[in-house]
Amino acid sequence: MTVAPILPERPEWTVDDLGDLPKDLPYELINGRLIVPSPTLLHQDMCVELLLALRVNCPKEFQVGIDLSMRVDHRNEPRPDVVAVVRGNADRSPLPVEDVVLAVEVVPTGWHFGDLYDKANVYARAGVQTYWVVDPTHERIALTEYTLGGAAREYEQVTHTEDLFVTERPWKVSVDLPALTARRNDLLAGADE
């Protein structure tokens, strides 16, 4: 039996405080708030499918990974569900944010809009050029693509779809959202039997 770690209580966390955490504990630090996620099999399956879609045409100068921390500043070390990064970071953790070209978040059940908004702002201020939000919590899975716009470092919505998603950012990628919806429904069907 595994015992959940007892975490130090702090009103606000910084990157320097993360050394006090158990080494194998997955965490995110967003605006000084420590988040310890507990993803589901469905969530992880969606992440793998997105990783595979990104790898199809991935140029040699980039790599794609799942659940990797990236250092932004002393109050933020987010952990995107899927990330595309400049090659040469295969053995680095956290990733340097300046090498990240795409951050992807798969919305987990029970997530609040404020969490999503906070993470998007952290990614935008850090200069991550492209950001996707994949939402499997509705009848049909939707993908929303954002890119940085202007000097304000704010995201602008480029695409929102529940159909076949095709983009050239950060390279040519297509994601068959109806197929992902069918896969999700198949995975969930076992829970009802």
Opening angle at CA 123, ends 84 and 65, nearest 5? 20
- What's the whole-number mean pLDDT along residues 2-14? 66
What's the mean per-residue pLDDT of the chain? 86
The pLDDT of residue 87: 95
Q: How confident is the model at residue 39 (pLDDT cuts 50, 70, 90)?
A: confident
What is the C-alpha radius of gyration for the chain, rounded to an integer number of angstroms?
17
- What's the whole-number mean pLDDT along residues 30-54? 85
Q: How confident is the model at residue 22 (pLDDT cuts 50, 70, 90)?
A: low
The pLDDT of residue 40: 84
Query: Comparing 103 with 35, which gets the higher pLDDT?
Result: 103
Q: What angle, rounded to 10 degrees, do the helices at 41-55 and 177-192 form?
A: 160
